[in-house]
Amino acid sequence: MNKIKCECGHINPEGTVLCEACGKPIEGNQHIDGNDKKLLLNMRYEGSARRSQTYRKSFVDKVWSFFSSVKVGVWLIVLALVASMIGTLFPQQQFIPPNAESRDPAVYYEAQFGMVGKIYYQLGFHEMYSSWWYLILLGLIGVSLVICSLDRFVPLYKALKIQKPRRHETFLNRQRFFSETEEVSKADIGQVKEKLRKQRYKVTEQNGHILAEKGRFSRWGPYVNHIGLIIILLAAILRSTPIMFTDEYVWVRDGETTVIPGTKGDYYVENKQFILDTHDPEDERFKDALEISGAVASNFQTDVVIYKATNNDVPGAKPELEPILTESIQMNKPAKFNGYTLYQSGYQPNEFSSMTFKIHETDDEDATAIDSFTINLFEPESEYILDNGFRAVIDQYYPDYYLDDDGIPASETNYPRNPAFVLAVYPPETSLPEVSFIGIGRNIDATGENEYKVAIQDFETHFVSGMTLRVDRTLIFFGLGAAIFMIGVIQGMYWQHRRVWIHPKNNGLLLAAHTNKNWFGLARDIEKAIEKTNIKMVEARQELDK
Amino acid sequence: MDLVNLSGNLLYAAFILYLIATLFFGATIRDKRSTKSKKGISGNIAITITILGFLAQLGYFITRWMASGHAPLGNMFEFVTFLGMAMVLGFIIIYFMYRIGFLGLFALPLAMIIIAYASMFPTQLAPLVPTLNTSWLYIHVSTVAVGQGILFISFVAGLMYLIKKIDQKKRTKKNIGLELILYMIFLFVGFIVSTTTFSIMDYDATFEYQDGTQIIETEYRLPAIAAPNNGVLLTENVMEPWFEAPGWMQGADAGRKFNTVIWSVITGTILYGLTVLILRKRVGAALQPLLRGVKAELLDEIMYRAVTIGFPIFTLGGLIFASIWAQIAWGRFWGWDPKEVWALITWFFYAAFLHLRLSRGWHGEKSGWLAVIGFGIILFNLIVVNLVIAGLHSYA
């Protein structure tokens, strides 16, 4: 390594721009921080020797200096920003509206948005935020964060530690705040020192050279907040593992007890009842708004009992359930047990529990029931023998009937949301059945020759509550990362690192000052300090960019 | 007088007070020959009136809270009004840091436009849906608004910087860009003017259209230039629509919103045209002399400083509190909902802004453009994402 010895005697590492001790610009290195073309010195990193600016030969050097560039970092941020924007141009796959004609992404995007939509889908933009290149982009931002921070923090820390009150004249007269006063009395200098101390500056002296400094810790703010961000990115990686994160959904109808998926069969939930409250339309306060909007829900609630299965280790045994928690789950009020959290996240109104059918003569205009029977939609029997000698056999049962793409009847889910049956009715003393197809709003006579007709007489419905089970062991890391980030930004943004230098020269002095932000505040500090003295106020020489 | 009326009147009073304060801030800049102390007096009067206006608006907020039983942050009217209040707060904070009156001359009228814009949305007290019924509503929403209010000051300072520094002698890309920004402010005014006019006339036309598998009725409060896609006009004796909104426009009431945009553009353009006709020059050129006495360096400093103050608050409210609430309500702290993504985009943007300030060449004018664009993103998230892109945050 080629160490550089400054005229003040300090030995600087290779690549130093401004001497760590006295700040004198080191010849031959000024282009690194762009000082050669400007009057003012670039004080961003105190002119310290950064690895990225010093070693640029080997492959590792090149990668290092690539990622340590703020410009590259900004580009990565801008790319992520643009990609994020594109992702909101059309709805992401999970947000395709439920009332869309087709929710199949291959169909939806083209049908809804035409050619552009098709291209959007083919480029994979409908799953933007889980696409490999979006994730790589975030990963690269992470790499850039680490390298940028290391590249700057270490030399900056050293430079600020080594800095001496005595600064080189060139360093001072190339600061943004600078003034030179010809004649100054000792008393005046003493007063300035005192006033700076009063403003909570830490004043150090070296042969009459004075350095007043405050808020140095704010310089570490950016590095602290970057640590926070890195923790958040690492937590996001952890979250993609099943140990750290579980996400399951369960539908439980009123009165039902069922195993909670994602708990390895250890826990069961009983839905005592689902409650849907709406705001009172007569409420004086909200009358006007409710008239326009119609009913507005005020509460979604499931009263649950959570059970632990005590004999889950015995294969095939009927679970023995021991209640561990009785809770009313509401929006914003999930139930917590043993690291699991159960959220209210949906409901299904009017799911059918049972249906009652009657049989009447096809020709009977009054449709007087000859006989009737009730099917429990969760436990339908295969055959119903009726009092009047009729026999009804369930030939087909579609709990959630729909016609599939080929026009064949099918069931979309196993829940009786839209039940339909193919029923074979055997009138008394016959062995030939009359077949009909019955559902909500449907009643089709298969042959058109049926003597008896089956019709829906009555039905019962119930609510089904949808609950989400989550285990997220990464939350603590996200929280930690966010907290560190906030500490870092506040440290870096709400405080400033201010320094004032006084450099005796002949009978007078040079006064210079620097801050990393809020020059206005620094100017006020100096004004206060030199009040009623002979010392000239510093001149602000900012070079604004066109 | 009941609380709701009182609340409405306080908001009205705040609006008037901001207007008066603007005039006094104008006096701090108008008279160049006036002595420093005179300027100081009118500045003091102006900030006092501003604070009175802010207190009146705070009174609106509190009385409305008492009337409805929940913090008035639940719908578009309530949130945008609060944002207007946060902008004034942002201005008051920055004023006391830098003591510069001319900032108020620009900040207050813009905040007033936002407040007027808010009152174009339904203003009745509305009950909260279960998701919003938690104290996280106040914590999350108010923090976001305060952060955005301070970032708004960065926008104001940036805009002033551009007005001051951009050469208006002959037409250039830059001053056309600046003019475009000012024109957009006119569009807001156009929206307010057209909506108010037809609401006084009590205009109403009903359309029926198909959305996916549902048949929906929608009420137009502005004459229909663009009908909903495949919409049928049900009301008689009203203007026939000129054309239909294109089919790719998504979300509830896309046609009606598109129609509103058309009206805002027409009215805003007429207003802009008249203004240019009266001034006989670009609006930017007409504003430029007002800023003659203002130091460009100070504007640059304020626009940067406002970002450094606003950015942490925005992050806390818009990302961190938002995530905590989302975790409690839905069990996932982040769900790539469009509103969440746009909050992230805003965050990315200001992060990029802060990093660019580290490099040479990005202070001054370029920063000014960025400060303006940044606030444009915030408004986009507020207006376009809420009203056009359907998601969890679609209120209106």
Q: Confidence class of residue A362 from pLDDT cuts 50, 70 and 90?
A: confident
* Predicted pLDDT at B361: 80
Inside any domain, residue A93:
yes
Q: Do A285 and B67 touch (CB under 8 A)?
A: yes
Q: Please give the single-letter amino acid code of residue A534.
A: N
By DSSP bridging, strand B214-220 and strand A508-515 are unpaired
By DSSP bridging, strand A434-439 and strand A508-515 are unpaired
Inside any domain, residue A362:
yes
| Residue where a domain terminates, one of B240, B256, B280 | B280
Residues A16 and A27 in one domain: yes
Residues A505 and A410 in one domain: no
Residue A342: which of A508, A467, A236 has the closest Cα? A467
Residues B88 and B156 in one domain: yes
What mean pLDDT is predicted for residues A357-386? 86
Q: Are A220 and A227 in contact (CB under 8 A)?
A: no
**Residue in chain A nearest B392 by alpha carbon:** A95
* Predicted pLDDT at A369: 83
Residue B54 phi/psi, 5-degree rounding, is -60, -40
Q: Do B297 and A300 touch (CB under 8 A)?
A: no
| Per-window interface: A 34-93 vs B, CB < 8 A | 34, 38, 42, 44, 70-71, 73-74, 77-78, 80-81, 84-85, 87-88, 90-92
Inside any domain, residue A342:
yes
**Residue B396: pLDDT above 80?**
no
Helix (H, G, I), strand (E, B) or coil at B336: coil
Q: Confidence class of residue B27 from pLDDT cuts 50, 70 and 90?
A: confident
* Predicted pLDDT at A543: 64
Name which of B78, B98, B129 to mutate to probe chain A: the one with the most chain A Cβ atoms within 10 A of its Cβ.
B129
Count of A-B CB contacts under 8 Å: 185
Inside any domain, residue B102:
yes
**Residue A100: pLDDT above 80?**
no
Q: Are B349 and B132 in contact (CB under 8 A)?
A: no
Residues B38 and B160 in one domain: yes
Q: Which residues of A touch B122 (CB under 8 A)?
A: 289, 292
pTM of the model: 0.90
pLDDT in tens, B245-297: 877 676 667 788 889 889 999 999 999 999 999 999 999 999 999 888 888 98
* Predicted pLDDT at A433: 86
* Predicted pLDDT at B389: 67
Checking phi first, is residue A96 left (phi over 0); if not, alpha (psi -120 to 50) or beta?
Answer: beta
**Residue A315: pLDDT above 80?**
no
**Residue A99: pLDDT above 80?**
no
Helix (H, G, I), strand (E, B) or coil at A415: coil
**Residue A194: pLDDT above 60?**
yes
Q: Do A285 and B125 touch (CB under 8 A)?
A: yes
Give burial (CB, 10 Å; 0-12/13-18/19+) of A138. Answer: middle
B205 min Cα distance to partner chain A (Å): 16
| Residue where a domain terminates, one of B226, B259, B280 | B280
Give burial (CB, 10 Å; 0-12/13-18/19+) of A536. Answer: middle
Inside any domain, residue A383:
yes
* Predicted pLDDT at B55: 97
Residues A31 and A70 in one domain: no
CB contact A141 to B (< 8 Å): no
Q: Do A493 and B312 touch (CB under 8 A)?
A: yes
Residues B260 and B286 in one domain: no
Residues B54 and B21 in one domain: yes
Among B97, B331, B348, select the one facing A341 at the smallest CB separation: B331
The mean of the pLDDT values for chain B is: 89
Inside any domain, residue B24:
yes
E strand map for A377-451:
383-385, 391-398, 401-403, 409-411, 420-426, 434-439, 442-445
Inside any domain, residue A240:
no
Residues B187 and B161 in one domain: no
* DSSP code at position A496: -
**Residue B38: pLDDT above 70?**
no
Residues A338 and A251 in one domain: yes
Structural domain count of chain A: 4
Q: Confidence class of residue B212 from pLDDT cuts 50, 70 and 90?
A: low
Q: Do B336 and A71 touch (CB under 8 A)?
A: no
Residues A67 and A142 in one domain: yes
Q: Are B204 and B219 in contact (CB under 8 A)?
A: yes
* Predicted pLDDT at B39: 63
Reported as half-sphere exposure (CB side, CA atoms, 13 A), residue A218 has a value of 17
Inside any domain, residue B393:
no
Inside any domain, residue B260:
yes
Q: Do B360 and A297 touch (CB under 8 A)?
A: no
* Predicted pLDDT at B395: 45
Inside any domain, residue A293:
yes
* Predicted pLDDT at B30: 57
Inside any domain, residue B293:
yes
| Residue where a domain terminates, one of B231, B256, B280 | B280
User: Cα angle vertex B257, ends B251, B262, to 5°?
Assistant: 140
Residues B46 and B111 in one domain: yes
Q: Confidence class of residue B37 from pLDDT cuts 50, 70 and 90?
A: low
What mean pLDDT is predicted for residues A82-105? 85
**Residue A177: pLDDT above 80?**
yes
* Predicted pLDDT at A515: 94
A97 min Cα distance to partner chain B (Å): 9
Q: Please give the single-letter amino acid code of residue B266.
A: I
What mean pLDDT is predicted for residues B175-182? 94
Name which of A42, A130, A285 to mutate to probe chain B: the one with the most chain B Cβ atoms within 10 A of its Cβ.
A285
pLDDT in tens, B119-152: 988 888 888 888 888 899 999 999 999 999 999 9
How many angstroms separate the CA atoms of B39 and B22, rounded? 14
Inside any domain, residue A209:
yes
B197's CB contacts (< 8 A; 6+ apart) are none
Share of chain A above pLDDT 90, in %: 48
How many angstroms separate the CA atoms of A40 and A176, rounded? 6
A74 min Cα distance to partner chain B (Å): 5
What mean pLDDT is predicted for residues B17-39? 76
Inside any domain, residue B220:
yes
What mean pLDDT is predicted for residues A216-239? 94
Q: Which domain holds residue A135?
A: 59-148
Q: Do A486 and B305 touch (CB under 8 A)?
A: no
Residues A274 and A326 in one domain: yes
CB contact B289 to A (< 8 Å): no
The mean of the pLDDT values for chain A is: 89
A341's CB contacts (< 8 A; 6+ apart) are A334, A335, A469, A470, A471, A472, B331
What mean pLDDT is predicted for residues B56-76? 93
Q: How far is CA B220 from CA B37, B254, B390, in A?
A: 54, 12, 20
Inside any domain, residue A225:
no
Inside any domain, residue B206:
yes
CB contact B206 to A (< 8 Å): no
B226 min Cα distance to partner chain A (Å): 19
pLDDT in tens, A262-310: 888 889 999 999 999 998 888 888 888 888 878 888 899 999 999 998 8
What mean pLDDT is predicted for residues B316-329? 94
| Residue where a domain terminates, one of A148, A175, A195 | A148
Q: Which domain holds residue B13?
A: 2-168+281-387
Residues B51 and B151 in one domain: yes
* Predicted pLDDT at A176: 92
Q: Confidence class of residue B31 from pLDDT cuts 50, 70 and 90?
A: low
Q: What is the 3-state secondary structure (H, E, C) of B56-116?
A: HHHHHHHHHHHHHCCCCCCCHHHHHHHHHHHHHHHHHHHHHHHCCCHHHHHHHHHHHHHHH
Residues B116 and B258 in one domain: no
Residues B182 and B157 in one domain: no
Residue A374 phi/psi, 5-degree rounding, is -115, 130
Helices (H), chain B: 3-30, 36-68, 76-98, 102-118, 136-165, 173-200, 254-279, 283-287, 296-314, 322-330, 338-356, 365-387
Structural domain count of chain B: 2
Q: Do A299 and B130 touch (CB under 8 A)?
A: yes
Q: Please give the single-letter amino acid code of residue A467.
A: M
Residues B298 and B164 in one domain: yes
**Residue A119: pLDDT above 50?**
yes
Residue B227: which of B200, B199, B255, B246 has the closest Cα? B255
| Per-window interface: A 254-313 vs B, CB < 8 A | 279, 283, 285-286, 288-290, 292-293, 296-300
Residues B119 and B222 in one domain: no
Inside any domain, residue B374:
yes
**Residue B49: pLDDT above 90?**
yes
Residues B194 and B299 in one domain: no
